Amino acid sequence: MTGDPQLVGVVIPAHEEEVHIAACVASVSRALDHPDLAGSATALVIVLDDCTDGTGERALGALGRFRPTVIEHSARNVGLSRQAGLATLMAAGSGLQPDRVWLATTDADTLVGEDWLATQLAWAATGAEAVAGTVVVDGWDEQPSRVRRLYGSHMAALGQGMGHPHVHGANLGLTGAAYKAVGGMPPLAAAEDHALWAGLHRAGRRALAVGNLPVITSGRREGRAPLGFSGLLRRLDTASHRSHGG
């Protein structure tokens, strides 16, 4: 990114997330309020995807000074939800050079740190056009005890430092120019984050998987996306059963 960003925006897709959304929105609001973003316009887009519970009300109740854009649709598709939110941010920055717009996305069951966006922008200042961070599980109460051990072994084998192989829609950021170069967010119901990341590499964009950008996400047994983080935990458990003849 050449120079400081002129617009920094965050998208939060949500489907039936009234339990988690308030804490997520509050954490994102704090990240948008970080002093390192003081010279940039900021924006928050919440995409309510077929929500019939109190997700919207609880999200708005958790906001500080930020007045978000709220989009409602019924696609039941996280890729389309992220796509809609990111399109809204791109439209908000339409008068700016795309490389001066920074787009970030997280999940409604995730907590980001106060320096989440500031850290992304620090990597952008080194020339990164996209960054992918890691996730830390907030608790294991909903999982069998073996899943925590299996996940720990899985992460140890793959690593979490610079160049790690993990891609999470809960922890991504990229320039508007990089986003345009790959044609936007793939409208997939699952693994849209991996498809976007692969597209960035195919397009020759400088996409970095970094080790100093963790977020905290839910360790719940049943997630909203079948191939999302909860799906990973379930697959680890299933694979363990199979390997032991279970």
When pLDDT is averaged across residues 134-138 and rounded to a whole number, the result is 87
Q: Is the pLDDT of residue 223 over 60?
A: no
14 CB-near residues (< 8 Å, 6+ apart):
21, 46, 47, 48, 49, 51, 55, 59, 81, 108
- What are the φ and ψ backbone dihedral angles of 184, each rounded to 5 degrees? 90, -175
pLDDT tens, position by position, 51-71:
999 999 999 888 867 789 999
pLDDT at 33: 94
pLDDT at 246: 47
Helix (H) or strand (E) holding 211: strand 207-217
First to last CA, the chain: 51
Domain spans of the chain, in order of start: 7-243
Confidence of residue 136 (pLDDT cuts 50, 70, 90): confident
- What are the φ and ψ backbone dihedral angles of 110, each rounded to 5 degrees? -120, 145
pLDDT at 158: 83
pLDDT at 224: 58
Domain 7-243 has CATH 3.90.550.10: yes
pLDDT at 3: 77
pTM > 0.85: yes
Q: Is the pLDDT of residue 38 over 70?
A: yes
- Alpha carbon distance 243, 123 (integer Å): 40
Least reliable range by pLDDT among 57-71, 73-87, 133-147: 133-147
What distance lies between CA 134 and its chain's CA centroid?
Answer: 10
pLDDT tens, position by position, 195-222:
999 999 999 999 999 999 999 987 765 5
Q: Is the pLDDT of residue 234 over 70?
A: no
pLDDT at 178: 98
pLDDT at 142: 65
